[in-house]
Structure formats: C-alpha cells, structure tokens
Structure 1
Amino acid sequence: MAATSTPHFQNDAGHPLIEIGVTEFMCVGANPPFDHPHVFLDLGDDAEKVCPYCSTLYRLNRSLAADETIPAGCIFLDRAA
C-alpha cells in the first residue's frame, strides 16, 4: 500500500496553466458540484499535460511541494472528509 495519497487539483478560477510539484495527480475540474470525472494524470517523462476533460494545462515545477500550486489555491480539498 502506498504511504502517500495522490494529490488532487481543481481549477475553479479557470486558470489556463497550473504549475504543480508532482508527476502523478488527479484533476477534478472545478469543485463539486461543477466537477468532471476525477481523472488520474501521469506526466511520465513530459514536463506538462493537458486534462482531457477541462483542458487545464498542468506544468511540472520541481521547486513546489506536493501541496503547492502556482497560482495558489488549486489544491482540491474534499469537504466531506
């Protein structure tokens, strides 16, 4: 079993680009109830990837921690948890 969970990111503000500090993550689109299917994305050897649902461009920024984004505030926090 994995020791850490996969970070989830949201894009309520409609940013065209979100910089992240991880290579494997989930995109949820906007926060519920306006979310899309929560899709797992893996950058692999690439530095960026576009979400196939909401077209958000995610770019790897190795200076960021797993719970940081540029612009700030794009971490998805499950309110039900």
Structure 2
Amino acid sequence: MRARPWRTAVEHAHAFAETHGHLAVPHDTVLDGFPLGQWLNKQRYRARKTGPTPAARALTAIDPWWNPPWGMTWQRAYQ
C-alpha cells in the first residue's frame, strides 16, 4: 500500500460509514481503489500502541466503535 495522507483515508472511511453505518470494515475491503480495510487495521494497531492519533480522533468522530476493546470479528457480526 502506498503512503497516502491520512485525511484522504478518513474521507474514504467517512464514505463507507455513510453507506453502511459503521466502520467494522473487513480487512480486504477496497473502496474506490483505496485499501480501506488494511488502513483501518493499521490505525487500530497504532491507536492501541501509541494512543490516539489525529486519524484515530477523526475516525472516532465518524464511528465511536471503530476500534472496540473486543475483537473485530464480534463487532462485524454485531453490525
């Protein structure tokens, strides 16, 4: 995955959430050529390791449960 500004990635996340109502995105999800699922997984990992980043704060504003303390498999099933 090539580097992209996080704001562009957040725009893709926002578009997905507007359509689906959540950010429990499967890892292999690609939206308009952008690997959204992979990017969100990386953001979850970063947020858990380093704390909230600007991207993490923006994602929380879109979907408060984008990075739940429980597993994403459960979150996807719930959604």
Whose RCO is larger (CA < 8 A, sep 6+)? Answer: 1
Structure number having the greater strand percentage: 1
Structure number having the greater helix percentage: 2
TM-score (ref. length: structure 2):
0.31
